[in-house]
């Protein structure tokens, strides 16, 4: 197993750009955690929308066609898969 020696980082000098990026990451992480606590319903809705859009895009790539209502049911696990094979003429 690999191990990382963090002491190496303490001895290193960092330029202002890298320090600025680290500071922004820390700031945005705090904002994200605040948003998670204050708006869980909105975030869950956005997650559901992302799942539906991702599934729709994947299906389109694979040539699978379905209705939006059926897609929402599948993503919500409210229905079972139904496979219909069509032959190309």
- Which tens digit of pLDDT belongs to each residue from 25-65? 999 988 888 888 898 899 889 888 898 889 889 888 988 88
CA separation for the pair 81, 73 (Å, rounded): 10
Token pair for 44: 């869950």
* 70 contacts 55 by C-beta, under 8 angstroms: no
pLDDT digits (tens, 9 = 90+) for 75-88: 777 655 565 555 55
Name the 3-class secondary structure at 67: coil
Q: What is the pTM of this model?
A: 0.50
Amino acid 20: pLDDT:
95
């Amino acid at each position: 197993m690999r191990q990382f020696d963090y002491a190496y980082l303490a001895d290193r000098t960092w330029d202002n750009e890298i320090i600025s990026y680290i500071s922004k990451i820390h700031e945005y992480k705090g904002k994200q955690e605040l948003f998670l606590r204050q708006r869980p319903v909105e975030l869950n809705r956005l997650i559901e929308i992302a799942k539906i859009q991702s599934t729709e895009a994947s299906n389109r790539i694979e040539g699978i066609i379905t209705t939006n209502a059926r897609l929402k049911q599948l993503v919500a696990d409210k229905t079972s898969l139904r496979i219909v094979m069509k032959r190309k003429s």
